Amino acid sequence: MNHKNDKAGMVKIVYIEKVKSLFKAFIVRSSIIDMTTIVHFEIPADDIDRARKFYSSLFGWKIEKWDDPKASIDYWLINTTDSKGEKGLGGGLIKRMHPQHRITDYIGVKSVDEHSAKVQELGGKIAVPKTAVPGIGYFAVCLDTENNDFAIFEPNENAK
């Protein structure tokens, strides 16, 4: 069995059904998304309480449950700050969905279509094709040439 194909299939199954409710959390929190930079990170955990305690104690991060009645999964928002107390990059803590579920970075782009094509031109793969998050934007989950997953995200309030 090809590991890359298994990985892509697993990522696709997990993300298509679950990720839509997650995007609203970090887009709502971000008034400005810098393009082609990481706009959000997501940490999977087997034990949410243990991970919350670890990251809060290690880095001083504030980790609070995201209470959205429309959310299909439990999600914890991570608020980071720099040494001066200035707000840093936000993230999320999520229950690990499969053994290969690793930290995923979401990179803001102007066009998911253009960047998806470029990923493939450069030898990467699209694990989850462009998917709308209604009223928020579009995302795709990709695999780079080293089989690392990452997501690209295009904010668009008209997404359907």
| 36-86 confidence digits (pLDDT tens) | 889 889 999 999 999 999 999 999 999 999 887 777 788 999 999 988 989
Residue 17 has pLDDT above 70, yes or no: no
Stretch among 20-24, 46-50, 109-113, 116-120 having the lowest mean pLDDT: 20-24
Q: Is the pLDDT of residue 30 over 90?
A: no
Mean pLDDT of the chain: 82
- By residue count, the chain amounts to 160
The angle formed by the CA atoms of residues 144, 42 and 30, to the nearest 5 degrees, is: 105
pLDDT in tens, 116-127: 999 999 999 999
Distances (CA, A) of 67 to 4, 78, 81, 133: 35, 13, 22, 18
Taken in order of first residue, the domains within the chain and their CATH numbers are 3-155 (3.10.180.10)
Q: What is the pTM of this model?
A: 0.74
